[in-house]
Structures are given as structure tokens and as C-alpha cells.
């Protein structure tokens, strides 16, 4: 599923009941979904509103190089990866998935900086290889500068 900010007003401050039903599908369906936006704070508001409305997930995580994930009442994966030295080498990142990845919902803020991070490709491979991209909703928030 894919939301493009140029084609939908879903990222507006106020959205309709039909928009909420559409987003419900996005937030409840396992698999990788994508939201494109130039405004990260607007997408975070949307994610927080939807997770609060659904009240479905017990263990939510967000991956971002920007601060503010904890404001959405989610585990900040970047803080966890750094605090426990899981970015030191490939084996440590693999151990992270075995030891700590017990999340039912994940969103990833794919900024240009994150896409250039050397460990991020392996992180994506692990999401796929361990089947998380098929068993939980993974929302990729693609931040464009246009």
C-alpha cells in the first residue's frame, strides 16, 4: 500500500472518516507500506493519531535518525541500537534481531541520511530474512525534499 502526499489529502491536519478507514488498512495489514511526504512532523502526527485511535499494538517501534520517536510512545530503535552497541558490526546487528526484535508495528523514517547509513541495508535484509516484513506492518516514511 502506498500513500503519496501529492495525490491524497490524508496528511492534512484533519482527515475524514473514509481517510481513517483507508489508513486503518495500512496500519493493520502486515507487509511493507510506504508514505511519501516532505514533512516528517506531519507524518509523525498522523502515525501517533492512528496508533492512538486503533489502540491495537502493545509493542511499537520507530527507526529514525531524527529525535522524537519516544513522543509517539514507541521504542526508539536508533537509541536502542546505539546504547547496546548493535551497530559495531554485522554480527551485533543480527543479534539485535534475535534478542530484541519483539515488535508488532514498525515505522522507518527513510531520510537520505538513513539510506546512506552502512548498516541500514543489513537491517532491511534482516527484516526480510527473518520474515518481519511479512508478519507485521512496516511503514516506510520516505522523506523527499521537493
Instruction: Report domain extents, the chain.
Output: 2-143
pLDDT over threshold 90, residue 94: yes
The Cα–Cα gap between 125 and 28 comes to 22
What value does the mean pLDDT take over residues 44-72? 82
Taking 50 as the threshold, does the pLDDT of residue 71 lie above it?
Answer: yes
- Look up residue 28 and give its three cell numbers: 493493520
Q: What number is the average pLDDT over the span 33-57?
A: 82
Task: State whether residue 34 is helix, strand or coil.
Answer: strand
**Residue 25 has which C-alpha cell?**
488498512
Q: Per CATH, is 2-143 categorized as 3.40.50?
A: yes
Given a contact cutoff of 8 angstroms between Cβ atoms, the answer to whether 137 and 34 are in contact is no
Q: What is the mean pLDDT of residues 69-85?
A: 86
Question: Does pTM top 0.85 for this prediction?
Answer: no
**Distance from CA of residue 133 to its chain's centroid?**
11
- The DSSP call for residue 61 is E
Amino acid at each position: 500500500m502506498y500513500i503519496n502526499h501529492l495525490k491524497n489529502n490524508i496528511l492534512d491536519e484533519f482527515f475524514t472518516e473514509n481517510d481513517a478507514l483507508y489508513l486503518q488498512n495500512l496500519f493493520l495489514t502486515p507487509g511493507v507500506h510506504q508514505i511519501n511526504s516532505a514533512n516528517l512532523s506531519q507524518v509523525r502526527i498522523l502515525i501517533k493519531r492512528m496508533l492512538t485511535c486503533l489502540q491495537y499494538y502493545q509493542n511499537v517501534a520507530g527507526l529514525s535518525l531524527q529525535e522524537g520517536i519516544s513522543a509517539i510512545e514507541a521504542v526508539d530503535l536508533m537509541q536502542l541500537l546505539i546504547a547496546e552497541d548493535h551497530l559495531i558490526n554485522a554480527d551485533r546487528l543480527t543479534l539485535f534481531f534475535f534478542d530484541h526484535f519483539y515488535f508488532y508495528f514498525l515505522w522507518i523514517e527513510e531520510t537520505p541520511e538513513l539510506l546512506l547509513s552502512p548498516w541500514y541495508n543489513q537491517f532491511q535484509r534482516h527484516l526480510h530474512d527473518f520474515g518481519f516484513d511479512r508478519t507485521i506492518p512496516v511503514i516506510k516514511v520516505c522523506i523527499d525534499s521537493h
